[in-house]
Structure 1
């Protein structure tokens, strides 16, 4: 009987695992931390008195949300000593959308993918842990305020206030990048081609005058420790890193965080990720991740 109960507990947990990971990742921006939290949620679920749990999904979301809030508060001190700019860990879009009910060709795919975009995740970094939790649960997962209130241990009026503040904050600060995947893929391919060919004019033609490049190395690899601003400086940086391409470099285009992304491998190991923010047919933001800790979970496409 105990074995049957354990199997049932595992089956229930697996049904919601992808959604739980989605909650944790959106709140933390880190794949490894999100996986740790999901594992901790499983340990709590497997050891819980489940007979009294009427809604397993709500119970598990509550556990993951509270664990993520605790982890966010722990990270606040660590961010102060992080070397250079901080960017989220790249996450394949299909995994980001798992558990959200989105189909690969669904009309709402782009809207759902936007909830895990770099532009959104970076603005969410400026929210308080509670505001971030409310925003994720409401905007990405569409949970009712009553369920969010139960997850946070707050009353509904307080949760509605948190939601209102978070929405206003996000609306005021988030960049307005295009969600057209075809345009972003085209510009990403042209950006790579121009850089590899040493085509300064070609690069300049793709970039907005006020373009910026944000690099995240964590002090563990090569990347600028300050944001690079302006088409001329970003173009010159792009040409420079193309000349210093890693040995045996393999270039792959994949879909990460809702955007076509250039993934660079060297000798079978992930080396760097380039992601573009595009608006009005021009590149407005270039994201570069080289921190090996943030790339370790990535595998080369088959």
Structure 2
């Protein structure tokens, strides 16, 4: 069992990355990987059975993907009953570091910039479970279509069609795009914070794309828009009302720039008007020097693993 555990731990980070891309939920991804371990240990405790597996990584990926596919199919029902807008659980890590549990393998490092971040996870929610699995396995993690077909229980041709449909949906022209490198992200988000601090709508509109969208997920715990806020004027006013008050809350606001699903975002803490602690994580999509989407996660059930903020993490945040 010690050898089995060592082999599995070498694959855990990649399996977590695969499961998180498929499920959009950190806790569900961890559960899927744990179930993969249980199946691995059960099936391969017999040395003879272990010897029959030529590619352990491929076997684990196939098993984990099948588990994720079952979760996605059941999640459809749960998401339909979700109060308000739904956003994925953010994976938050400090700037300049990688989250070891979700560190990308070489295949994921080669993915285009617009295939990481909250924006991608939100778009993936529009896909049918089979399309999402096909796209993530092949387009994001370079799994051959023969293996994808095995996961889905279909043919190579059908798997290719599912990935193609998903690819068209993900690249639709009306969806938020995120193509900015880290330096551009930092410049644009810093300009966004400065504009909200100024309280000047015209200044804020300079960093918002005309078709920008604002999505907030509170899970019913705090007031939040039940539908996306659309367009620069509407999003600008909404952002000024939310972030412009950050420095003027009765309770102190703590804030820190962080990586959210691999791209620049903000982590904040304060106290709500009724005395409850309020934590939120804001992710941005940036394209051609402007913000195309703002994703505001304030559902406390999805923020249980956030790293703590310090007294030095004041608003406006230091860059």
Judge which range, 130-139 or 165-174, deviates more. Answer: 165-174
Partner of 1:222: 223
Deviation at 1:219, TM superposition (A): 0.9
Partner of 2:305: 297
User: Aligned pair 1:72/2:72, yes or no?
Assistant: yes
CA RMSD across the alignment? 2.5
Contact 1:117/1:259 (<8 A) preserved: yes
Partner of 1:21: 16
Partner of 2:251: 247
| Superimposed CA distance per residue, residues 195-249 of structure 1 (whole angstroms, 9 cap, x where no aligned partner) | 2343333223322333221111111123222211233322222222232648332
Indicate how the Cα distance of structure 1 residues 246 and 278 shifts in structure 2: closer, same or farther if over 3 A, else same.
farther
User: Aligned pair 1:34/2:38, yes or no?
Assistant: no
Deviation at 1:67, TM superposition (A): 0.8
Write the distance in 2 (CA, Å) between the matches of 1:121 and 1:299. Answer: 22
Partner of 1:286: 294
Aligned residues: 291
Partner of 1:105: none
User: Aligned pair 1:89/2:110, yes or no?
Assistant: no
What are the within-5 Å matches in structure 2 for residues 253-272 of structure 1?
A: 253-266=257-270, 271-272=279-280
Write the distance in 2 (CA, Å) between the matches of 1:161 and 1:178. Answer: 26
Contact 2:255/2:309 (<8 A) preserved: no
Match of 1:273 among 278, 281, 290: 281
Write the distance in 2 (CA, Å) between the matches of 1:233 and 1:144. Answer: 44
Write the distance in 1 (CA, Å) between the matches of 2:215 and 2:19. Answer: 24
Q: Which runs of 5+ in 1 are unaligned?
A: 1-5, 103-107
Deviation at 1:99, TM superposition (A): 4.1
Match of 1:8 among 3, 9, 27: 3
Contact 1:110/1:258 (<8 A) preserved: no
Indicate how the Cα distance of structure 1 residues 109 and 42 shifts in structure 2: closer, same or farther if over 3 A, else same.
closer
Indicate how the Cα distance of structure 1 residues 113 and 8 shifts in structure 2: closer, same or farther if over 3 A, else same.
farther
Partner of 2:239: 238
Partner of 2:123: 123
Deviation at 1:43, TM superposition (A): 1.3
| Superimposed CA distance per residue, residues 25-55 of structure 1 (whole angstroms, 9 cap, x where no aligned partner) | 1111010100111111111111223423332
Write the distance in 2 (CA, Å) between the matches of 1:185 and 1:82. Answer: 33
Partner of 2:214: 213
Contact 2:180/2:289 (<8 A) preserved: no
Write the distance in 2 (CA, Å) between the matches of 1:280 and 1:45. Answer: 45
Partner of 1:98: 103
Contact 2:23/2:29 (<8 A) preserved: yes
Write the distance in 2 (CA, Å) between the matches of 1:164 and 1:212. Answer: 26
Write the distance in 2 (CA, Å) between the matches of 1:252 and 1:33. Answer: 26
| Superimposed CA distance per residue, residues 251-300 of structure 1 (whole angstroms, 9 cap, x where no aligned partner) | 11112223210111348x77111222222322222111111112112213
SS in 2 for 1:146: helix
Deviation at 1:110, TM superposition (A): 7.6
Judge which range, 278-287 or 172-181, deviates more. Answer: 172-181
What is the TM-score of this pair, normalised by structure 2? Answer: 0.82
Runs of 4+ that moved beyond 6 A: none
| Superimposed CA distance per residue, residues 155-202 of structure 1 (whole angstroms, 9 cap, x where no aligned partner) | 322222222222223222543332222122112122223323433332
SS in 2 for 1:172: coil
Contact 2:18/2:136 (<8 A) preserved: yes
Contact 2:16/2:102 (<8 A) preserved: no
